[in-house]
A and B are shown apart, each in its own frame.
Chain A
Amino acid sequence: MNTTTPRQPDTQQGVTEAKPGKYLTFRLGNESYGIPVLKVREIIRLCPITPVANMPKHVKGVINLRGKVIPLVDLRAKFGLPIAEENDRSCIVVTQIVAPRSGTRLYGVIVDGVEEVANFLGSDIEPTPDFGGSIDAQFITGMAKATDGVKMLIDLDRISAADAAAASDIL
Chain B
Amino acid sequence: MTLDPFVAIGQAHNLLQKLGLELAFVDPLEENGLDSVDGLVRQLESVLAQTPEPIPTALLVARTWIDERLQTDGRFSATTIARFLVWQPWLDAAVNAWEDLAPIPTLPAVWLESIEPQSVTAASAPESQQAELNPNAVVKVAVPNTTIAAALVASPTSVTPSVLIPAAGSEQTVSVIPADSDVEMLQLFCAEAQDLLQEIEQGVLVLEGNPTDAGSIDSLFRAFHTLKGNVGIMKLNFLQQLTHELESLLDAARQGKFRLGRDAITVILGGADILKRFVAELANQINGVEPGRSIALPIPAMIASIRSLLITGSIPVDSPSVAPVPVVTAPSAPLPPPAPKASPAATPVGGAGIVRVDTLKLDGLIDLVGELVIAQSMVVQNPELASISSAHLSRCLSQLRGITTELQRMAMSLRMVPIRNTFQKVARLVRDLAVQQGKEIQLVLEGEDTELDRTIVEELSDPLIHMIRNSADHGIEMPDARIAAGKLPTGTITLKAHHQGGFIVIQIQDDGRGLDATRIFAKAIERGLVSADHNLDRRGIYDLIFAAGFSTAERVTDLSGRGVGMDVVRRNIEKLRGKIEIDSRAGEGTTFTMYLPLTLAIIEGVLVGIGEERYVIPTLSVRESFRPLPGMVTTVHGRGEMVNVRGQLTPILRLGEHLHTPFNVTDPTQGIIVVVESGQDARCLFVDELIGKQEVVIKSLGDTFRNQTDFAGAAILGDGRVGLILNVNALVKLQQARPVGDTAV
Contact = CB atoms under 8 A, between A and B. Distances in A.
A102 interface: yes
Contacts of A168: 707
B720 interface: yes
**Chain B, interface residues (CB within 8 Å), range:** 20 to 34
B704 A54 contact: no
A100 B371 CA distance: 27
Contacts of B437: none
Given A50-B724, A62-B722, A67 B716 contact: yes
Q: Which of A48, A50, A51 has the most CB of B within 10 A?
A: A50
A80 B722 CA distance: 27
Given A50-B613, A51-B613, A63 B708 contact: no
Contact of A53 (B375, B661, B704, B714): B661
A12 to B, nearest CB: 26
Q: Which of A48, A59, A69, A73 has the most CB of B within 10 A?
A: A69
Interface stretch (A1-9, A19-27, A130-138, A158-166): A158-166
Contacts of A99: 702-703
Contact of B371 (A50, A67, A166): A67
Contact of A63 (B367, B660, B722, B724): B722
A44 to B, nearest CB: 13
A71 B704 contact: yes
B395 interface: no
A62 B723 CA distance: 9
B703 A64 contact: no
B705 A52 contact: yes
B659 A62 contact: no
A66 B371 CA distance: 7
B659 A164 contact: no
A99 B370 CA distance: 24
Contact of A54 (B368, B660, B702, B723): B660
Interface string B717-745: 00011111000000000000000000000
B714 A166 contact: no
A82 to B, nearest CB: 22
B374 interface: yes
B661 A50 contact: no
Q: Which of B661, B702, B704, B720 has the most CB of A within 10 A?
A: B704
B714 A50 contact: yes
Interface in A104-132: 105, 107
Contact of A52 (B367, B375, B658, B711): B711
A70 B700 CA distance: 9
Interface in B330-358: none
Contacts of B27: none
B716 A55 contact: no
A48 B612 CA distance: 11
A50 B705 contact: no
B703 A160 contact: yes
B555 interface: no
Contacts of A54: 659-660, 708, 710
B361 interface: no
A52 B714 CA distance: 10
B392 interface: no
B150 interface: no
Contact of B367 (A48, A50, A67, A71): A67
A48 B699 CA distance: 17
Contact of A64 (B706, B707, B720): B720
Given A59-B705, A70-B702, A164-B704, 8 more contacts: A50-B613, A50-B723, A62-B701, A64-B721, A99-B703, A101-B706, A166-B707, A167-B708
Q: Which 7 A-B pairs have the closest CB atoms?
A: A67-B371, A53-B659, A164-B703, A71-B704, A50-B722, A69-B699, A167-B707
10 contacts: A50-B721, A55-B705, A61-B722, A62-B701, A64-B720, A68-B699, A71-B702, A160-B704, A164-B707, A166-B707
